[in-house]
Structure formats: C-alpha cells, structure tokens
Chains A and B, each alone.
With several copies, the nearest count.
Chain A
Amino acid sequence: MNASSGTYTATEMMTIAAARALTNRDVCFVGIGLPSAACNLARMTHAPDLALLYESGTLETRPRVLPLSIGDGELCETALTTVSVPEMFQYWLQGERITVGFLSGAQVDRFGNLNSTVIGDYAAPKVRLPGSGGATEIATGCQRIYLVMRHHPRTFVERLSFQTSLGHGPTGRERRALGVRTAGPVLLVTDLCVMTPYAETNEFEVVALHPGVTREQVIAATGWPVQFAERVDETPAPTSVELEALRDLHARTAAAHGAVVTE
C-alpha cells in the first residue's frame, strides 16, 4: 500500500486527510496505529490545543513520538495527568466528555459498523482478531466517530462476520432504536477517498477522491456497491507543512523505538 501519488504516499494522504478533520477544540479518544498518527499530526499542525486521551488513562497527552502501544511511557510523561483505566472508561468516555473517537477495524460495512473480533464463525473462527478493546463503548460514548481504514474489498465488506462496534447499525437506523444519543460515525477516511454517511440512509458514500484516484479504483476496493455523492470533490493534496510534520513525526518515532513500526 505504498502507491505513491506524486511526492507523497496514499497512506500519507490518508493520515493527513484524517488529521484535517480535527479541530483545536476537540477532545479526542485515540486508538493506536492510524488514528494515533492522524491525531498527533493535527496537534502538531493546525490544532495545537487538541486534547488527546488514550485508553491507558493519559489525559491531554502530547507525545513527541508516536507510541507503539496505547500505554507507552511517552504518553504518561507528556500528559496533564494520568488516571486509572476504570476512571478513564467511567468518567471520561461513558461520561461523554469526548467529542471525537477515532476508530479502525478489520472490517467495516456501508453503515460504519465495525468488526475487530473474528473472521468466520465466532465459535470456530477462521481468523481470531484481537477483539473489542475499547472500541465497543468508544463507538457509542463519543459525540462523533471518525473512521480511518485502508480501502480493500476484504476490509470494506457487504456483511461483517461479527459486529464488534455499532456504527449506524445493520440497516443504518439502529442507533436511535437502541437509545444511543451520540452521532456515531460521521467520517470515513481511506487511502483512496473521504466518505460520509448519506443523510437519509446513513450509508457511507464517497464525497472526495484523493488526488489521482479514480472512481473505478474505489469501486474495485469496496465490497459493496459503493455510492458516490452528487458532488465529489478532490481532496486537497498534502501541503508541504503537513507532509514535513508527518515525516518528521515518523522519523522521530523510528529513531526512538529503534525498530520498524507498523502503521
């Protein structure tokens, strides 16, 4: 997935597009991996006051390098303070103090529901995935959910093997029926495009293609008959400021961890 488009990679475009969605006033519950890169990039560029919380209990952390795990020492050392994990889930997440939850998963469907549990049958799985972690309650406890995932037909699926975390539900209408007051997934950024839910159906549709990406590429990489919005924009290409900040962050991270870091 290093298909370079000019002077930046598709992954860089994805991370930068995701970072742009965050504002200086957001309080963000950060997942490890792609979300972590996007959130810290936002903090290091246009949103210096963005408050980042990791489920390890670090409140308003400002890591200088990306953590390998959700509980790296760097997160605690640069935090406003560190609370216990029960407090994090009780007062901060369930207390609905978080404006944005950033999630990813092994599978997503057209309504933004996520699977991070198993591929195949639960009792006799083909692939046993890590499981929910914080995702199940992040998906319902944060005011809004942003999704970041690489586009692939095995990932963007017609039907999830297992619904770990609620998006808009199997028919797109389950949140209200379940009494969930939060908005759920309102943004899905991939390495090909930006998607948002169509208001009437809550089905994710393409609203912007990254520079150089064609509709056909998106259709081929999506496991359901993907819809395009009436107007499809082109994602603005990364600025040199964004690219430099992201590359510096990755370089510092690689130096600090002394090893390859998967993203």
Chain B
Amino acid sequence: MSEFVTLSEAVSRWVHAGDRVALEGFTHLIPFAAGHEIIRQRIGDLTLIRMTPDLIFDQMIGAGCARKLIFSWGGNPGVGSLHRLRDAVERQWPRPLEIEEHSHSAMAHAYAAGAAGMPAAFFRGYRGSDLPKVNPNIKFIACPFTGESLAAVPALRPDVTIVHAQKADRRGNVRFEGIIGVQKEAVLAARHAIVTVEEIVDRLSDEGSNDVILPSWTIDAIVVAPGGARPSYAHGYYQRDNAFYVAWDAIARDRDTFQQWMDAHVHSGGKGSA
C-alpha cells in the first residue's frame, strides 16, 4: 500500500547509494523534482536507468550521482547534445560513467518483461546493428518453431522506479494521462516505486473506464509535488518549457556554468517537499 510522504522522506527511505534507479517519463511527466532531491541528498554510485536521459540525467550525471547509465537515446530533444553526459563519457568528468546502451525497442521490451516477471525480453530487434558488439547484455536465441534468430535482453528490474503523474486519489491509486510512455511498466518492474503527483483528487476516473491507473498496492510512496515535472510538462496542467530546453545547451556546455546553475537552482531548493 502506498504512503503519502514528503519528497525528502521518499527519497531517503527508498533510494540508496548503489541502487538501480529508473526515472521514467517519455518527454512528458519527467520527475525532475525527485531527481533534484536525489542530487540534494548526494546519493551516489547509482545505476541510472532511462530510455531518454534528457536534462534530468544530464544534471544527475554532472552532479556525480551516477556510476552507470542504462539508456537508449541520450540527447537534448530538438536541441542537440547532453553536454554533461558527453563530458562524463568522453572525459570521465566528474567521474567515469559506465554505459549500457540499447535501442528504444529493447528498453521498452525490457521494462515490459520486468513488469511481466520474466527474466528476459524476446523480440525482433538489433538486426544488422553494431550495438550487440558493444553490449554483452544483447543476445540472440533461435525461435523453437521457425528457427528465426530473435534478440534477447535481460528484463529491467530497478531497485526503485520514480515517475510523475497527474493525480492520485486518497487511497493512493495513481492515474496517468496523455503520453504515458513506459511509466506503468517501469513501476511494475521495480521492487519499490515512488510517484510524485500534481494533486490529490477524490475520484480518478469515470465508472467502467479503461484509464491508465496503478493501484495503491503497486506503489510505496506518493508525494504531492505540483510542478514536479517542470521543465517537462504535465498534460492538462502545464506546458513544456521549450525555452529552458534550449537554454540548457549553453548552461551545460561548461562545467562552471553548470555548477553555478545547480547551486542556484537545485542545491538551494526544496527542503522537505517539492
């Protein structure tokens, strides 16, 4: 059963140094507030998992939280590079970063396999790509019926998954709307789950619906964090801050301007809740 707690408590109870931590949200509903709290609590040695690292992992990697990154597309969408990610991979700053690199299809299948309790995902993938040469976690099996070669990757099983959603009800059930990405699978694949939400409501949806809802008993902690996905967006609540995504390119390009920005906007902020 989920508990309603502060962001600071959620992160300190369920995120530990060395954990495998997934923060999902496909462009939409990226859990920035929670990522910043991890940075503030200086939790390190993490294996960070995310299909699209985006600015949040650029910040966490630049802040030194990550030992390893599992990902499938590491850019600033529509803008260009993630400079802190590149600095870590190309120049080991602020520390070396091990990478496990996949395609989107593989990551999506691996989360779904984790949610489904499978040890691995099997799919038609990686044909003719060099990625299997550099990632030993990509293997191939023969279909027992047709003999076709199929790709296999281990299921993703984060120690904790953190996502942001629009609404929770008072019983701690959570609803996702709009671009729902891989959030449901990432939560169900994890040992523990933290969900930050825009607000608590009395009723999540109409009777007899097929809405995307996770029951309370699949979640450990719910944190009310209005604006917790900014500068990404929350469908029905606020828009993506595209200008900030563009501005980030200049901020992150230089180690000093990055650290100044982090000091001013992350380390100084958020005591106890978002």
Contact = CB atoms under 8 A, between A and B. Distances in A.
A91 B75 CA distance: 26
A94 B81 contact: no
A79 B210 CA distance: 10
B112 to A, nearest CB: 4
Contact of B242 (A140, A175, A259): A259
A30 interface: no
A68 B77 contact: yes
Give the residue among B1, B78, B239 with the most A Cβ atoms within 10 A: B78
Q: How large is the interface on B (under 10, 10 to 19, 20 to 34, 35 or more residues)?
A: 35 or more
A80 B215 contact: yes
B127 interface: yes
Interface in B77-96: 77-82, 85-86, 89-90
Q: How large is the interface on A (under 10, 10 to 19, 20 to 34, 35 or more residues)?
A: 35 or more
A257 B242 CA distance: 6
A60 B211 CA distance: 13
B104 A137 contact: yes
A69 B213 CA distance: 24
A236 interface: no
B200 interface: no
Nearest to A170: B128
B2 interface: no
Q: Taking chain A's interface residues, is the majority helix, strand, or loop, or is none over half, making it mixed? A: loop
Interface in B122-165: 123-131, 134, 148-149
B272 to A, nearest CB: 29
A68 B242 contact: yes
A97 B218 contact: yes
A115 to B, nearest CB: 9
Contacts of A75: 179
B145 to A, nearest CB: 14
A169 B129 CA distance: 9
Interface string A80-108: 11111110111101111100000000000
A48 B119 CA distance: 35
Given A91-B116, A122-B134, A164 B129 contact: yes
A149 to B, nearest CB: 16
Interface stretch (A4-12, A49-57, A197-205, A209-217): A49-57
B201 interface: no
14 contacts: A56-B28, A76-B235, A77-B207, A84-B185, A86-B108, A89-B109, A90-B115, A94-B105, A96-B117, A117-B131, A125-B89, A131-B72, A133-B103, A259-B246
Sorted nearest first, the 8 A-B pairs with minimum C-beta distance are: A71-B27, A166-B128, A130-B75, A69-B77, A133-B73, A68-B78, A136-B103, A137-B105
